[in-house]
Structure 1
């Protein structure tokens, strides 16, 4: 029974990404990421003047709904010390210690975001008898903030204070405010909005400008009122180095206390009574916002670490790929100096299921190979489009057709292997077109008795349109960087089904082609390596294949590949703890696949969300520079791969557009595959609709490049022609018969 593919995980993924983006945006808003250097707003000189009742009044002001202004000042010999912008983990405790030492109380106008970060300091200040007022949530200028945003800032701060202290604030000081006579008409509009929210506005009699750090003595002098007068004194306990402010308090408070001054809170001085108790809803909302803010900060930090790690891994990967590619290229050049050898009869097995569009040219390209001793076996696996009939009508020599009931691609491959006569086998998909010299070049590494399989170089035939160009670049990069690196590291995880040569003894050792996974080529390759054979890459053995022409076809193909690769990785997981060739596959190949083809793609949606967060909260120039840098590295990498493969650089222009759609599609494939793997789902074979594009492209390309790439094969054959009996196997090869009981496979359902 096939389980249906899950669907709810897409909605869950979307909700998680929205939630993550919301947390990151909250963190960005709280920390004002990208707002460096904004400073104090420039006064609007064209705005009308504020009412005289405000500019000529006392510092504590109540503004009624009808615009009536009532102000009050401090009684004689009464000082209300006020501190803005806190709490701060370094300076707020120092100021509290000074106040406690001199038995003075003060009023702290705190930022809601800072309250959420340092709740213990707020509780300490409240428990020691100090008053907590609002200073907005993120220090926004009231006069230049939209009314709805200002209301939100005041509400968030009120809830933060309620969650920390259990009371609701009644006092509010606007950021960037000072003494009443400095209020402009624009400032007054902001004060009206604050008053509408139910707050008393607290300005200052003495603005000490302690943020300028003029010295402790100057700060104390600026805070001292006229003889016998009361005052509201503005100081700061956050926003920078406040050591001078702390020192000034130790000068100011004892001096004025000796003169009979008392230091109390604003509400105590004006007999306003105790602050109202906060409701349960206010405390709950404050706690929820605090948790969200803390989670957003943690998430932003974690995403930064993830991004740095991903960049570092990508840089290391690129460096290793380039080093391996250069070394592999030098090795291939050395091998090309050796004349190509005849390795006896070679049998090409072509499993075919509904391949009418390409099968004729596939077979023709194989028969037209310059290798002189070649048989072709086409195994028709229950096709319904006349695939076998097309091959038979060709009446080509050395081509044999075997018909069987639909049993699956592994079963078709095993059938072909059973009927093969040569000790060298080439397994080819039914939509692949070979270059004339591909067979001869592909089998040359098998001269080394340690080599059990060889990967050829697959190219995309239908390169028209963006989708075709993107797949072309992906193939070139994968074959010319990844496969060269795998070859050097001796951990090649996949010989592609499109073009691969195998020693019969290697396939015999592992019991034939398994149907345990959907990626039978990956499973086969990993099994061969674990059996002790080497698998290498031959870049000059070229074949063309037809890539998916639509996003739907691409999704289905890559979904099967990715899911099958995960199956193969799980099946061969014990290689991680083994020694020798199996250990190299496990610790190098499987680890690489797990990291770069599973884990990093699974994290890619979060990286995209983080990128959107950067666009919203980082300077546009900085975000653009980072994106341009990544793109430049990708273009350079693709360009180097094209250079290695002697391909034109024209498709490089489409690479930046890959980030818009293609990359997202690929990592969503990994997400879907991982979900299916975790749920234990089963996939049916997803067959791609063929158009014959590989045939048309290969004909033109082969005519153009074949004469320049190789001379006729017979001219390069060594004098001593090897027969199948001269092909040695590795020490662990077994001479027993090919096990017939392993030749059955799961059905290959009709699409």
Structure 2
């Protein structure tokens, strides 16, 4: 059994890594390899029709095979119960089957897992390979990850009001995971449910560990990018409605309401700016320059921080994708009104690479 330490004088922490995978043979090997030296790795093959189980075993994981696809949260729930992971381990890292973690990911995350902490969220970066170096969808996602984590996630972590976790690379106190994981989450995004349940039940703080680094496969094309973002935002809206966010007198609710207002300003800002351009006419160039300088400044900072200079070169594409993202927010709202809850949490993952 693998152990990690929180501090030189702390007792060893028994850590497991749990991965639910559906037809993930292309990437599960790298995921297991990155984790197997740090913790005991368990893979749930969720009705896979490919060699997911074989590849995972070959890399050193213990594999639980399911005869049919039941969805990620149900697969994780089944594994926790069948393998008694919450009883055998102190902490459990949930990884996606296309996630690779740094050699010190578990140690860095566990170092933050003190008595008041329920979940530690790692730093997510896009797996930006040379063959896809000029893919604008990866560039936009790399920029989005950096900006979100450098600003909002750090601030929310400091205040103890994190509204979402990374379902691809987060470490849970085992006793907390056992309480928040249910067989079927009512939202299309399982980690949204887990996050909100942690806050509502007052199970502990959720903190961000920027030194615990993980890389994920992100969409390579418009279709996959749109579907993934739509699912994420739809799930967040479902959580806001289902957990009645804003109807409780807590700091978490207050800051979440402020975030919702920020989303409204973000979505409405573009059409309002366009209206000003049309209305003001002669002053339109100044407004365009104002927006351009803002985007260039942000993408420039992202390029410096990530050492990915092509992010700055992709600024025009990032601007266009940012406009499409606003459409996703509206589409997700319509889906939430039509379907505020789901009966099964299953989806099609983007193409892995």
TM over 0.5: yes
Contact 1:513 1:520 in 2 (8 A): no
Please show how residues 620-639 of structure 1 align to structure 2 within 5 Å. Answer: 622-639=283-300
Residue number among 333, 340, 344 corresponding to 1:674 in the alignment = 333
Question: Any stretches of 5+ residues in structure 2 without a counterpart?
Answer: 1-6
Please show how residues 85-484 of structure 1 align to structure 2 within 5 Å. Answer: 343-368=12-37, 371=38, 374-392=39-57, 394=58, 396=60, 399-404=61-66, 405-418=68-81, 419=83, 420=85, 421-446=88-113, 448-462=114-128, 464=133, 465-484=135-154
Q: Residues of 2 paired with 1:587 and 1:577: CA distance? A: 9
Secondary structure at 1:389's aligned position in 2? Answer: helix
Deviation at 1:679, TM superposition (A): 2.6
Q: Residues of 1 paired with 2:340 and 2:13: CA distance? A: 44
Deviation at 1:512, TM superposition (A): 4.1
Deviation at 1:691, TM superposition (A): 3.4
Paired residue total: 336
Deviation at 1:390, TM superposition (A): 1.9
Deviation at 1:634, TM superposition (A): 3.2
Q: Which residue of 2 aligns with 1:594?
A: 260
Deviation at 1:530, TM superposition (A): 2.0
Residue number among 214, 220, 223 corresponding to 1:552 in the alignment = 223
Secondary structure at 2:149's aligned position in 1? Answer: helix
Deviation at 1:455, TM superposition (A): 0.7
Deviation at 1:469, TM superposition (A): 0.9
Q: Which residue of 2 aligns with 1:506?
A: 176
Q: Residues of 2 paired with 1:459 and 1:514: CA distance? A: 28
Q: Residues of 2 paired with 1:345 and 1:632: CA distance? A: 49
Deviation at 1:641, TM superposition (A): 5.1
Contact 1:424 1:503 in 2 (8 A): yes
Q: Residues of 2 paired with 1:650 and 1:503: CA distance? A: 38
Contact 1:496 1:522 in 2 (8 A): no
Q: Residues of 2 paired with 1:663 and 1:536: CA distance? A: 27
Residue number among 590, 602, 610 corresponding to 2:275 in the alignment = 610
- After TM superposition, the score normalised by the length of structure 2 is 0.87
Deviation at 1:484, TM superposition (A): 0.2
Contact 1:559 1:669 in 2 (8 A): yes
Q: Residues of 2 paired with 1:487 and 1:439: CA distance? A: 19
The CA RMSD measured in Å over matched residues stands at 2.5
Q: Which residue of 1 aligns with 2:235?
A: 564
Q: Residues of 2 paired with 1:682 and 1:571: CA distance? A: 8
- After TM superposition, the score normalised by the length of structure 1 is 0.42
Q: Choose between structure 1 and 2 for higher RCO, CA contacts under 8 A separated by at least 6 residues.
A: 2
Q: Residues of 1 paired with 2:217 and 2:9: CA distance? A: 29
Contact 2:21 2:44 in 1 (8 A): yes
Q: 1:678 to 1:500 in 2, by over 3 A?
A: same
Name which one, 1 or 2, has greater alpha-carbon Rg: 1
Q: Residues of 2 paired with 1:685 and 1:678: CA distance? A: 19
Deviation at 1:342, TM superposition (A): 6.0
Output one character per residue of 1:523-560: Cα deviation in whole Å (capped at 9) or x when no partner.
Answer: 10121122221000000111110110010010110110
Deviation at 1:605, TM superposition (A): 5.6
Contact 2:125 2:214 in 1 (8 A): yes
Deviation at 1:610, TM superposition (A): 1.3
